[in-house]
Structure 1
Amino acid sequence: MVSEALLPWLLDADPALRWQVQRDLAQEPPEVWQATRARVATEGFGARLLALQDSDGQWAGGAYFPAGFEGRTMDDVGQPWTATTWTLNALREWGLDAAVLRERRTAELLAENCRWEYDDLPYWGGEVDCCINGYTVANGVWLGADIGGVVDWFLEHRLPDGGWNCEWVEGSTRSSFHSTLNSLTGLLAYDAATGGTDATRAARRSGEEYLLERQLFRRLSTAEQVAPWVDTFTYPARWVYSVLNAAEYFRDAALVDGTPPDPRMAGAIDLIRAARQPDGTWLQGRRLRGQTWFEVDAPEGAPSKWLTLSGARVLAWWDAR
């Protein structure tokens, strides 16, 4: 999966990354990677984010944006990534034990104190943006919040072509690669945690089919690559779609569902493989602008440990089919 020379470089990392390398690439036994994973709460990136939590359960005083942020400044500096939702996404993806935040009553505090910037809606009720609602479902099932209403929202807002689009509020009736993948990630988290329902599984299948029909990166009408961003790989990816992020989703879904890789992903896998450097690494792509709490990966153009972990485990999964 990775060379013997590359593995020490990957393992010399924050616990948030190291435990995943141990589990997915080094094939260490559970007692090894689980011990490393437990350190996410007390060391490195995870501990630093936990220390930044506000007394009311939020981060940076806001749901999607920091308190006091004025959206008109986004054109100048980009979106800030410090607010509650983005911080929960990172902690969940890094493998923090949800018990740490449950002991802090985070879900309850957010229910009491956190409102979406859109229409002042309650945090665990979601809002109108598919991507935001996908994060809300994933974070909610992780923390034990009641997100049943948001799950139902996805069933009601699926578009005729099978996926989702955050621009539905502007009248769009065609699904988006970005919105569909982020919606699927939330539904997969729900199905994995609860077993799902016939309705959620059917919705997830239709969204997956939307992407697979397009081979994860092509226009259905012309078979051309849909946009340059499909093979631009960046960590953290935030909300942005790429074939690598999509392949990670399908790998996760296959592990939950017990299914093999779909052969329609072959072209996307070729793009991922082509991006691997001669030394086995993947390079950091164009970074999303915006304020962060701190840096967690390499600068643009440098070898990225996070992307190398992602690319290597996707290829290992695909090649083992």
Structure 2
Amino acid sequence: MDAVVDYLLTGDPAIRWQVLRDLADASPDEVAPERARVATEGWGARLLAEQAADGRWDGGTYRPGWVDESRPFFDAWTATHFSLQTLAEFGLDPASPEAQRAVALVRDNVRWEYNGELYFQGEAEPCINGIALTTGAYFAQDAAAIAATILATQHDDGGWNCWEEDAAAPGSFHSTICALEGLRAWEQRSGADPELTAARLRGEEFLLERGLFRRKSTGVIPDLRITLTSSPVRWFYDILRALDYFRLARPERDERCAEAVELLRSKRLENGLFRLENDHAGPTLFSMDGEHEGFPSRWVTLRALRVLRWWDAA
């Protein structure tokens, strides 16, 4: 374990500070200066430098300005929405001057292509809104309108689905994890709210009663890709993303996560690392060194080890 931690600590500041906090039990005084480097060194600084004066990344909000809007399923990870998500995943300190400047530019200038609303007012799709709500909560923005939209679009089974407005239709894994992350982050920021809490718990049950990766009706795995580790997660669901959520949402553990935990554990290599198994294809602003599909990944290893640490400690 010490050798793995030492290896992870040779990575980018975005990884190092989380390793210190989550795996090495470092003191806050040790963690804080390492986290501060995210704004000025490595991937965090590089991503911040890509923001334009109008607040956008790559000329767009959800999609970059060069993408043909007639191609609805084209994935690109270079525009504002996913850049903000990535900065939050890096752990950019929201109180840093760099974060304050970047987020203010977005808040005051960036509007959704879909409905023309300002970014932190949200749009229509739960998967998109969930990520935007997570980002808004993380960077201490007023995203109450997004939370309200997510609550209004929950399905009868407790899940969410970006492509189906009928509340009686089944939810999806992908939309549900995005919505849950957003609701939990907003609840942590804005305080307890009975309606929000109830919706979040129903959403968690949607995943838990499916064992995090199986159909409720048949027990069949609907898509083998949700059993593969990925990072960054973007809008996609997988068992590692779900377990990382429940690590925070249910620290006391829920035994319905057990099969997913053991599946994750089985992926650990002899050297203690975990591979990046599923790289979500699409243009990026830059490559994160050493993060390639099929090879050991610092990001995946960090996230997997903190999940196993949570589970085994309980």
TM-score of the two chains, using structure 1 as the length reference: 0.92
- Counterpart-to-counterpart distance in 2, 1:52 and 1:171: 39
Match of 1:304 among 286, 294, 297: 297
Query: Which residue does the alignment assign to 1:12?
Result: 10
- The Cα of 1:105 is off from its aligned counterpart by 6.4
Query: Which residue does the alignment assign to 2:101?
Result: 104
Asked whether 1:37 is paired with 2:35, we answer yes
Asked whether 1:199 is paired with 2:195, we answer yes
Asked whether 1:145 is paired with 2:138, we answer no
- Counterpart-to-counterpart distance in 2, 1:102 and 1:90: 13
Q: Residues 108-135 of structure 1: CA distance to partner in whole angstroms, max 9, x if unpaired?
A: x334422212133332221111111011
After superposition, residues 260-279 of structure 1 pair within 5 angstroms as 260-279=252-271
1:215–1:264 CA contact under 8 A, matched in 2: yes
Tell me the C-alpha RMSD between the 2 structures.
1.8
- The Cα of 1:249 is off from its aligned counterpart by 0.4
- Counterpart-to-counterpart distance in 2, 1:172 and 1:44: 46
Query: Which residue does the alignment assign to 1:287?
Result: 279
- The Cα of 1:73 is off from its aligned counterpart by 5.6
Distance 1:163 1:102, change over 3 A: same
Residue 275 of structure 1 aligns to a residue in which SS? coil
- The Cα of 1:247 is off from its aligned counterpart by 0.1
- Counterpart-to-counterpart distance in 2, 1:194 and 1:236: 26
Question: Could you tell me which amino acid in structure 2 is paired with residue 113 of structure 1?
Answer: N
2:154–2:167 CA contact under 8 A, matched in 1: no
Structure 1: gaps spanning 5 or more residues: none
2:155–2:167 CA contact under 8 A, matched in 1: no
Q: Residues 167-212 of structure 1: CA distance to partner in whole angstroms, max 9, x if unpaired?
A: 1248872100110000000001101112231111111000000000
Q: Residues 129-185 of structure 1: CA distance to partner in whole angstroms, max 9, x if unpaired?
A: 111101111111233322111111122111100111101248872100110000000
Query: Which residue does the alignment assign to 2:308?
Result: 315
- Counterpart-to-counterpart distance in 1, 2:70 and 2:308: 41
- The Cα of 1:95 is off from its aligned counterpart by 0.9
Query: Which residue does the alignment assign to 1:213?
Result: 209
After superposition, residues 166-245 of structure 1 pair within 5 angstroms as 166-169=162-165, 173-245=169-241
- Counterpart-to-counterpart distance in 2, 1:83 and 1:172: 33
1:232–1:285 CA contact under 8 A, matched in 2: yes
After superposition, residues 72-91 of structure 1 pair within 5 angstroms as 72=70, 78-91=74-87
Q: Residues 279-308 of structure 1: CA distance to partner in whole angstroms, max 9, x if unpaired?
A: 111111131221111112421111001101
Q: Residues 33-63 of structure 1: CA distance to partner in whole angstroms, max 9, x if unpaired?
A: 1210111111111111111111122211211
Query: Which residue does the alignment assign to 1:28?
Result: 26
Query: Which residue does the alignment assign to 2:116?
Result: 120
- Counterpart-to-counterpart distance in 2, 1:119 and 1:103: 25
- Counterpart-to-counterpart distance in 1, 2:86 and 2:168: 30
Q: Residues 187-238 of structure 1: CA distance to partner in whole angstroms, max 9, x if unpaired?
A: 0110111223111111100000000011101111111222201211111121
2:19–2:302 CA contact under 8 A, matched in 1: yes
Greater share of helix residues, 1 or 2? Answer: 1
* Aligned sequence identity (%): 43
Structure 2: gaps spanning 5 or more residues: none
Question: Could you tell me which amino acid in structure 2 is paired with residue 287 of structure 1?
Answer: D
Question: Could you tell me which amino acid in structure 2 is paired with residue 52 of structure 1?
Answer: E
Distance 1:247 1:40, change over 3 A: same
- Counterpart-to-counterpart distance in 2, 1:101 and 1:197: 32
